[in-house]
Amino acid sequence: MPLYEYYCAHCNTEFEALRPAARADEPAPCKKCGQPGQRQLSTFSFKSNTFTAPKLKQAGKPFRSHTPTKDGG
């Protein structure tokens, strides 16, 4: 099961949830206050001892703006 990142606008908390892909876009209950959190766009990464992958720079966590835009998004 994939690990997804969510944001709770009620208490301004980011949290992760391990969920089936079929439920990825459904709101997840916030770990802090229990209110529904919305899924955030996150980066993909993997590590393997058997596969030789290209050397990539370590990704920093991207800046996220949690202020609503004019279109409500």
pTM: 0.58
Residue-wise burial string across 11-39, b where 16 or more C-beta atoms lie within 10 A, e elsewhere:
eeebbebebeeeeeeeebebeeeeeebeb
pLDDT digits (tens, 9 = 90+) for 13-60: 999 999 998 998 899 999 999 999 999 987 766 666 666 656 666 666
Identify the pLDDT of residue 42: 76
Would you state the pLDDT for residue 24? 86
The pLDDT of residue 61 is 62
